[in-house]
Chain A
Amino acid sequence: MKRKDRPVAGRALPGNESILRQLWRDPMGRAGMIGVGLVILMALLAPWIARFDVAKMNSKAKLAAPGAEFWFGTDHFGRDVFSRIVYGARVSLEVGIVAVGIAAGFGYLLGMIAGFFEGRTETLIMMVMDVIFAFPSILLALFIVSALGTSILNTMIAIGIVNIPVFTRTVRASVKTVKSTDYIANARSIGLKKMKILFRHVTPNVLAPFTVQATLALSGAILTEASMSFLGLGIQPPNPSWGSMLSDARKYMERAPWLVLFPALFIILTILSFNILGDSLRDVLDPKLKL
Chain B
Amino acid sequence: MKKLFAVLLAMMMLLALTPLSLAEENVLRYGVDADAAGGFDPHTISAVASMRMIGQMYNTLVDVDENLNVIPELAVSWEQPDDTTYIFHLAKGVKFHSGRTMTAQDVKYSFERILDPATGALGNSSSYAGDIDTVEALDDETVKITLKNINAPFLANLSSSYCSIVDRDVVEKNGGSLLLADGGTGPYTLGEWVPDNSITVKAFPDYFDEAGKATFDAIEFYVLTDASARLAALRTGAVDLIVADTAMLDLVENDDSIQTISYQSRNYTGLFLNVNRAPFDNPLVRQAINLALNREEIIDFAFNGKALVSGFVPASLGHWAVDVTENEYYTQNLEKARQLMAEAGYANGFETEIIVGLLDSIRDTGLVVEQQLGEIGIKVNVQDVERGQYLDAWNGHNFDIMVCQNGAGSDPSRAVAFFFKTGSSANIQDYSNARVDELCELAVATTDTAKREEYYKEAINIILNDCIVAIVASPQEYFLASTALQGFAPSASNANNFSGVTLTR
Contact = CB atoms under 8 A, between A and B. Distances in A.
A246 to B, nearest CB: 13
Interface in A216-271: 232-233, 236-238, 250-255
Interface in A114-157: 145-146, 149-151
B149 interface: no
Interface residues of A, number: 23
Contact of B228 (A62, A237, A251): A251
A238 B383 contact: no
Contacts of A233: 386
A249 to B, nearest CB: 10
Given A59-B300, A252-B247, A145 B226 contact: no
A57 interface: yes
Contact of B385 (A59, A150, A250, A252): A150
Given A59-B297, A237-B367, A238-B370, A254 B386 contact: no
A55 interface: yes
A56 to B, nearest CB: 7
A70 interface: no
B405 to A, nearest CB: 16
Contacts of A252: 247
B250 interface: yes
Given A145-B386, A150-B385, A237-B363, A77 B368 contact: yes
Interface in B235-273: 245, 247-248, 250-251
A250 B300 CA distance: 19
Contacts of B385: 149-150
Contact of A237 (B248, B304, B382): B382
Contacts of A77: 301, 364, 367-368
Given A150-B389, A237-B363, A250 B384 contact: no
B384 A56 contact: no
Interface residues of B, number: 28
A250 B301 contact: no
A251 B360 CA distance: 11
Interface string B376-407: 00000111111011000000000000000000
B386 A232 contact: yes
A146, A238, A250: residue with the most chain B Cβ atoms closer than 10 Å: A238
A253 B250 contact: no
A76 interface: yes
A251 B247 contact: yes
Given A150-B385, A251-B227, A57 B301 contact: yes
B371 interface: yes
Contacts of A237: 363, 366-367, 382, 384
Contact of B367 (A149, A238, A250): A238
Contacts of B226: 250
Interface string A58-100: 0100100000000000001100000000000000000000000
B230 to A, nearest CB: 11
B250 A255 contact: yes
A76 B367 contact: no
Given A77-B301, A149-B385, A57 B251 contact: no
A177 B251 CA distance: 62
Nearest to A251: B247
A226 to B, nearest CB: 15
A291 B251 CA distance: 59
A11 to B, nearest CB: 47
A56 B371 contact: yes
Contacts of A251: 227-228, 245, 247-248, 360
Interface in A147-182: 149-151
Contacts of B371: 55-57
A232 B245 CA distance: 17
A250 B389 contact: no
A152 to B, nearest CB: 11
Contacts of B227: 250-251
Contacts of A254: 228, 248, 251
Nearest to B357: A232
B483 to A, nearest CB: 20
Contacts of B389: 146, 149-150
Given A59-B301, A251-B227, A76 B386 contact: no
A236 B384 contact: yes
A57 B228 CA distance: 24
Nearest to A55: B371
Contacts of A232: 384, 386
Nearest to B226: A250
Nearest to B301: A77
Contact of B251 (A56, A76, A255): A255
B388 A146 contact: yes
Contacts of A150: 383-386, 389
Interface in B283-336: 297, 300-301, 304
A95 B384 CA distance: 17
A139 to B, nearest CB: 14
A146 B386 contact: yes
A153 to B, nearest CB: 13
Contacts of A250: 226-228
Contacts of B248: 251, 254
Interface string B344-365: 0000000000000000100110
A77 B363 CA distance: 12
Contacts of B388: 146
A250 B382 CA distance: 21
A254 B227 CA distance: 12
B247 A236 contact: no
B167 to A, nearest CB: 38
A238 B245 contact: no
Contacts of B251: 254-255
A62 B366 CA distance: 18
Contacts of A146: 386, 388-389
A236 B248 CA distance: 25
B283 to A, nearest CB: 29
Contacts of A55: 367, 370-371
B44 to A, nearest CB: 24
29 contacts: A55-B370, A55-B371, A57-B297, A57-B367, A57-B368, A59-B301, A76-B301, A76-B304, A77-B301, A77-B364, A77-B367, A77-B368, A146-B388, A146-B389, A150-B383, A150-B384, A150-B386, A236-B384, A237-B384, A238-B367, A251-B227, A251-B228, A251-B245, A251-B248, A251-B360, A252-B247, A254-B248, A255-B247, A255-B250
Closest 5 pairs (CB-CB, A-B) = A251-B247, A251-B227, A57-B371, A59-B300, A150-B385
Given A77-B364, A145-B386, A146-B388, 14 more contacts: A55-B367, A57-B368, A59-B297, A59-B301, A62-B301, A76-B304, A149-B385, A149-B389, A150-B386, A237-B366, A238-B370, A251-B245, A251-B248, A253-B228
Interface of B: 226-228, 245, 247-248, 250-251, 297, 300-301, 304, 360, 363-364, 366-368, 370-371, 381-386, 388-389
